[in-house]
Amino acid sequence: MTLHLQNVGRCIGNQWIVRHLAFQIGNDECLALVGPSGCGKSTTLRLIAGLDPVSEGSIAIGGHDVTKLTPAERSIGMVFQSYALLPHLSVFENLELGLKIRNVQCKDRSIRIQRVLDLLQLSDRASHRPAQLSGGQRQRVALARALIRDPEVYLLDEPMSNLDAQLREGIRPELRRLVLEQQKPTIYVTHDQHEAMAMANKIAIINHGQILQLDTPINLYKNPNSLFVAQFLGRPQINCLKPSDNQIQAIRPEDLKFDDSGLPCRLLSREWLGNTQLLYLASSEGDLRMIMDPSFECPERLFVRWDPQKAFYFDRETGKRIP
């Protein structure tokens, strides 16, 4: 089973919300869509789910063109950012509703619900209402509702954005295992690059409704095709030097080294991060971020240099990579 998008776009009025979306995801793949808020991530999912009409292009699931099909005919399991659970129904009833709508036999319903509740460790919460659950449990119920219909494609729209950072990190491995176990094409939307790298084996960076680059996390990091991608992936953020000749040179913080023959810098501030420390330096090329050993006592004035091979060069106007 594959999910295949060809030149998909959505236009409202005379404005393209997303355009030229094209990618293919296989059975064992999880694609993360990342990009700033409002860049069109949710819209992309809604197009695939059939909740919004496609203005151009086509969508195929398992080789079948589904562009004109209704959402129910597409076999999509979707987890909404807000979870979209019915507040007046119990966990059990929330899961049951979709099966009822699709006329699943009563006995079959209970078996399937029980299996999914067990899988997600929610069995003792079956009769609770969403309001009586913690954020993490609600998120699992939303996931359970997607799993229970055994769809061909999974779409997860910022499934963890309502959870606190610690919980998110705890849930991440579990969620990844569950998603991978399904062996179905999965799209995972997030605005958190860290989450994207952890969850997905491919990442698409989106800005202004267009995919800037789609590749494995490591290739994106090592080989960004634009300044936006370089800045979006990697924390602390990549250093951009003062433009010269319409070029911007960018260098990752970890690629900066001390060297007495290098660029003179002044220490602005330092952040101790436990296993590393982050130095903020001022130089004639602009402010620089640099990663150092945590025990290192940084002097007020110092010199840094870097291997020009490791730097990236971007066009100042377009932001495109210059080879």
Ligand X SMILES: Nc1ncnc2c1ncn2[C@@H]1O[C@H](COP(=O)(O)OP(=O)(O)O)[C@@H](O)[C@H]1O
Residue nearest to ligand X (CB): 42
CB of 55 vs another protein, minimal distance in Å: 18
Identity of the amino acid at 272: W
Which residue lies nearer to ligand X by CB, 25 or 39? 39
Near ligand X by CB under 6 A: residue from 7, 12, 72, 247: 12
Contact between 226 and Mg ion (CB under 5 A)?
no
C-alpha to C-alpha distances, 44 to 50, 53, 126, 248, 299, nearest whole angstrom: 10, 11, 33, 31, 49
Q: What is the largest CA-CA distance in the chain?
A: 77
Q: Does 38 bind ligand X (CB under 6 A)?
A: yes
Q: Which of 43, 182, 239, 283 binds ligand X (CB under 6 A)?
A: 43
The nearest distance, CB 71 to another protein, in angstroms, is 5
Q: 42 or 225: whose CB is closer to Mg ion?
A: 42
Q: Which amino acid is at 39?
A: C
Residue 188 per-residue DSSP state: E
If you ran DSSP here, which 8-state letter would residue 85 be given? -
Residues of 238-275 as b/e, b for ≥16 C-beta within 10 angstroms?
bbbbeeeeeebbbbbbebbeeeeeebebeeeebeeeee
Q: Which is nearer to ligand X, 51 or 163 (CB)?
A: 51
Q: Choose between 72 and 273: whose C-beta lies nearer to another protein.
A: 72
Dihedral angle at the C-alpha atoms of 172, 175, 177, 182, nearest 10 degrees? -160
Strands 64-65 vs 56-61: parallel, antiparallel or unpaired:
antiparallel
From the list 41-49, 177-185, 235-243, 280-288, the region that binds ligand X by CB under 6 A is 41-49
Q: Which residue in 37, 103, 166, 295 binds ligand X (CB under 6 A)?
A: 37
Task: Give, in order, the Cα–Cα distances in Å from 116 to each of 48, 139, 149.
Answer: 25, 14, 10
Q: What's the first-to-final CA gap in the chain, in angstroms?
A: 37
Q: Taking CB under 5 A as the criterion, which residues in 20-59 touch Mg ion? A: 42
Answer whether the bond into residue 236 is a cis peptide, omega within 30°. yes
Q: Closest distance between ligand X and the C-beta of residue 48, in Å?
A: 12
Binders of ligand X among 161-220, rule CB under 6 A?
A: none
103 binds ligand X (CB under 6 A): no
Residues that bind another protein (CB under 8 A): 46, 49, 51, 70-73, 76, 78, 80-82, 84, 86-88, 90, 92-93, 97-98, 101-102, 126-127, 129, 145, 149
Residues at the contact surface with ligand X, assessed by CB under 6 A: 12, 17, 35, 37-43
Q: Which residues bind Mg ion (CB under 5 A)?
A: 42
